[in-house]
Each structure stands twice: as C-alpha cells, then as structure tokens.
Chain A
C-alpha cells in the first residue's frame, strides 16, 4: 500500500525554491506583499522561509496593493529588483493604475529607456470555492498593455525558472500563477504524454502530445491552469485514438502565433481554451492572428472555449457549471472532428 511517491517538485515548491535561490544570489531582490512573513509564509506558501532567510529584504505591507506596487516601482527605478506578491489576482484591479500608468510607462516616457525591473506575481483562477472576488482570471485586462510582459506558466513549464527569467528581463512583468496548479507535481514526459519545448525563449511554449505515430487530429492552444485539465484529458483521449497536440504558451503578451503555424496548418483544426470569461479575451487575439495566417488550410472554423461571462459562484456545483471544464473541452474536440 502507498509505496513512497516520487519526491517530484510541485508548482508551488518550484516557485518557492527559485525565490530562495534568487534572493541568495542577488541582494537587489526584495519581496513585498501581504501576510508573507514566516511562519504564515503567504496565503499560498510561496514565500515560505523567505523572511527567515532574508529578514531585511522581505517587506510585509499594509492592505494597499496600489501603495506597495507603486513602492516597488520606485525601488526598481533606484536600482533594486523588487518582486511583488498580490495575494489574489482579483486585487490586481487596485494596483492596475500603478502597473499600467506608472510602472509600464516609465520604461519609455522620460526621453530615454529606463530599466524598470519589477515582477508582480499573483495567483488567479477558480476551482477552490473562494467566491466571486477571489477566483477570477483577470489577466486579459492587462494583455496588450505596451511595455508590460504578461507571463503565465503551466505545470508543463518549470515555473521557478520562468520566474528567474522574469526577474532577469529587467522590465515590468506580470506573472500569473493558477492557484489550482500550486499543489500539482510538475509534468514530465511519460506514459502517453510527450512534453517538449516548442520554442527556445525565456518564456517558452511547451508542446504536449498524446501520440507517437501519425499526425495530430486537433491542435489545442491554452495557457496556465488549463494544463491541469488538459494533461489527464490527453491521456484519456490517447485511449480513444484522438491525437492531440497541445501548445501551452507561457508568454501571453506581447504574443505571436508564429511558432504554432506549422502545427495549425498540419491538422487544420484548432481549439483555443482559457479560464477567463468569454468575450474580448486572449483567445480572440490568438484566433485573429491564426486566421490571418492559416485560413486556407483550416478544415473547420477555429473553436474557442472560455468560461461563461458571469460572476463566479462559491458553491462547487455552481463554479463547475460556470468555469471551463474537461468535459467542455472534450465535447468541443469531438465537435471539431465530427
């Protein structure tokens, strides 16, 4: 019974380890946010151990996202490399003015390019029954903001490494973590799944395939927390002989579909999935770019899935009905192939 499980790293531990390492290596890195001191170590334990190891560089703040995000921007202008934790991504709305009108603009608005190396990390997403103001995926509000890089690693990525790359970028980065991914063990090739990077960039697109022979039936493009639905679904679909190529970009904005084009042209059937609410969403931009480049080779209109444009209920049943789920993805795949 219960043979010891392999001690693989979880998404949360990967981030925590990267933070500890980075702060050890670089004295310019400061960590700011609410309730981040030990022993509590942050609402999702990503900052666990940080304040014990670096008491002078971990700053626990009052409940004022605008205040401490602005503070971090100032620190960055003066040569430090602050990392901000927004306890729940929903609270980004409070910091939006600081991010859009100050942090991102300072990069180019003073006649010469300035380094503004701030990383704002935050958990997004539902699935935990946290209700309307602690479960949203609000990243779409920030996509397309000039000078702001928006990154959202899936658990097929190494989130710790991507966080390192975000800090190394030297520009404002919004780093989106899906809260349901935190306890997940990072994915690796094995069984029916093959996982490899599709691009060689600081924020790469990972390609997950559930077949080794033949061609993909459907190309799925999704990001962040969607990987936790897609990995088990891909394994299940392998048994049904449905060949899936799943591209998981980590870089949401700025974005190019160029690396996806050969795959999209090859299978001619594309499904875009995201957890944010439908309408003016990430998938709209991806679909528009894909159409422009592949419309002649598509065998079906590009299919899109997002959550219903409603307020997220707290009850599990209500939440499941509103958010995109594995069953929605499966039926969309079969619809595309019908």
Chain B
C-alpha cells in the first residue's frame, strides 16, 4: 500500500510551493500526522504531515518548486517498497487528456476548408488516422479545381520569362500592359489580373484571366503562381503606395514593366514597380523612384528626378533638372520648365505649363489658380 502526499493548496495566491527542508530522513518510519517536511509559500512556511503510517520516500529535494497537487513524498506500508508503479499510474492518468492526437483536422484546416469549399469529411475519410492540415486542404482544393493560374508553366524557373501579376487595370491599363509585354523581349509574360471590380471577375483581358479582387494576391504568392507584380490603377496614388508597401513588406517582389518602344538613355536609374508605356523618353541621368505609372509619350528631360507612387498622364514633358516629389498626379500634356520643383501630393490638371515651383499638397487648376488641398 502506497500513499502519495501531495503539495497542499495553502493559500489562493500560490500555484506552487518550495521545499525548504525534510524533517524526516528518507526511509525512516513515520506516523500519521507527524511533520515530515517544511514548505514555503508566498505567505508563510508550513509543515507537511504524513497522511498514513509507514516508511517515508522523498520525491522532491530542498529547493525544488512543486506545483500544488503534485506528489512531494510517499509513505509505503513496508520498508523499501518500490513507488515507481504508483508514480507511473499518476503520470499516465495525467496524460490521458493529452494522449494521442485524435483530432481529424486542425482548426486552420477547418477554416480554410470552409473558405475554399473543400469537404473535410470526405477528405478525412480518404486519410484515416491523419490530422488534416491547411496544406492537405489546399492540395485537395487545387486537385479538385485544377490550376487556378498559369500552373501550366513547366519551364525551369531559371530560364522561364518573369510571370507578372497585374494589380488593377481590368478597365484598360491591363490591356496595354499585356500588349507591351507581348511586343517586348519575351523576358516577361502576364500571369493574371487582379481587380476589385466584381463585374470583371471571371472575364479575360487579351486572353489573360481576371481572377478576382486584389486580396487574392497572398494566396497566389503562396502558390508561386507569379514572380513579380506591378500596380496599374492610377486614380488613387495613396492607395498605390499602401499596396506597394504592404506587399513589399510581405516579401512580394515588384518589377518594372517597360514598353519596348521606350527610350532609356544613359545613366537612367529606377527603383521597382514602375510601369512605362509606349514612346516615353527618359533622357540622360534621369532618376525614378518606385511604383510610378507613366502613360505614353511622356518626356522626362536630362537629370530630372521623379519620386515614388506618381501617376503621370500621356504626353507630359519636363525640361532638364526638374524635381518631382512623391504621389504626384499629372493630367495630360503637362509641361514643366527647367529646374522647377513639384512638391509631393500635388495634382496638376491637363494642359498646364508650369513656370514656377509647386509647393507640396497643391492643386494646380490653371496657370494662375493655386488651391491648397484639403487634408
């Protein structure tokens, strides 16, 4: 007969107690009610008493911190009795709740199945004894629905054209971007278009599928369905920036998409995510940031700089050493005299010829009318 003596709950502040000292040596005979051990809690030091007559076995050492309810000592009816079996039983009863994994699927698998329409019951029946994971559900989904985009691409990644995902542009910009790639060097090809216009979903543009809203991008990136992205919508430059930064932070790559008719002279530098349409001309030493959109026939003269996230309409022209900030929008045929600075977040209407600097956050409606934008 073995009696386990557990750490008592002395006060509600403590989940554990620390063994200070044994008052009885291991192996000695103790009587029920005798003090055998000193235990320290956060409030007080208390004695632990033997709960039966018998021979004492120490199960913890001075200094040990023991959780409430766990055995500290055992008392055996006969001397030298092995307590291993009693402790093993204790452990196995504690383990019972945690036992073998009997779940048929993880909670994430359940959520993903509901989103993708995969029938978990059927999948579980096909995989008896397995805990289904998110990966299993996604595999079952792509098996059922076939490749969602461009998974026919079997060329080795090292030598295949860059597969470019187009963000926005179902309305028309997508088509000219696709045309630019198709007429180009063959080093880029369109993967698909994502567009938030629900009516565009399921249609194609120049034969390229419009898969659905922009937030599908994570899923496609995980499926490695594209290599890099560009943003084609131009109506909201802040939104351009938000998407660019959010996706870049997630490790999604941006590329530059440049029509083959564009002329880039020597020492032109640019970041990533720039879209440059037909017949644009960038003179010597021009520097572009990231994520700008240039419609056709735009001329940026030598040593001019353009920041990031700008949207420039067709046939705009800068003279030399012009500096354009971030998130700037130009209409059509804006002309800028040399050395002028165009501040960030400004908008310039079509047909304006700028002859003086434009401060930040300015709307230029006509030659003489400057109005500060509302915040």
Contacts and interface: CB of A to CB of B under 8 A. Distances in A.
Given A1-B71, A299-B215, A44 B42 contact: yes
A217 B59 CA distance: 44
A337 B111 contact: yes
Given A239-B106, A296-B239, A297-B246, A1 B87 contact: yes
18 contacts: A1-B60, A1-B71, A2-B59, A2-B64, A2-B66, A2-B72, A45-B42, A128-B13, A179-B13, A183-B16, A237-B107, A240-B106, A241-B109, A241-B134, A242-B107, A266-B250, A299-B215, A337-B111
A338 interface: yes
Closest 4 CB pairs of A and B: A241-B108, A240-B107, A241-B106, A240-B106
A182 interface: yes
Interface residues of A, number: 30
B15 interface: yes
A32 to B, nearest CB: 22
Contacts of A262: 249
B29 to A, nearest CB: 22
A296 B242 contact: yes
B233 to A, nearest CB: 13
- Secondary structure type dominating chain A contacts: loop
A4 interface: yes
A237 B134 CA distance: 13
Interface string A1-14: 11011010000100
A265 interface: yes
A144 interface: no
Interface in B1-49: 12-16, 42-43
Given A12-B42, A182-B13, A334-B111, A5 B65 contact: yes
Q: How large is the interface on B (under 10, 10 to 19, 20 to 34, 35 or more residues)?
A: 20 to 34
- Secondary structure type dominating chain B contacts: mixed
Given A12-B42, A128-B13, A2 B249 contact: no
A215 interface: yes
B172 interface: no
Interface in B301-351: none
B242 to A, nearest CB: 6
Interface of B: 12-16, 42-43, 59-61, 63-66, 70-72, 87, 106-109, 111, 114, 133-134, 215, 218, 239, 242, 245-246, 249-250
A197 interface: no
A268 B247 CA distance: 12
Contacts of A179: 13
B107 A334 contact: yes
Contacts of A240: 106-108
Interface string A81-123: 0000000000000000000000000000000000000000000
A198 B61 CA distance: 40
B134 A265 contact: no
A202 interface: no
Contact of A338 (B114, B239, B246): B114
A129 interface: yes
B61 A183 contact: no
Nearest to A268: B215
Nearest to A48: B42
A320 to B, nearest CB: 14
Contacts of B43: 45
B15 A183 contact: yes
Nearest to B134: A241
A12 B65 CA distance: 15
Contacts of B16: 183
A338 B111 contact: yes
Nearest to A179: B13
A183 B14 contact: yes
B64 A5 contact: yes
Given A5-B64, A44-B13, A266 B249 contact: yes
B12 A129 contact: yes
A242 B108 contact: yes
B245 to A, nearest CB: 8
A265 B12 contact: no
B180 to A, nearest CB: 28
Interface in A163-204: 179, 182-183
Given A2-B59, A241-B108, A242-B108, 8 more contacts: A2-B60, A2-B64, A4-B61, A7-B63, A45-B43, A128-B13, A182-B42, A240-B107
Contacts of B215: 268, 299
A179 B15 CA distance: 13
A4 B63 contact: yes
A334 B115 CA distance: 13
Most buried by B among A4, A265, A299: A4
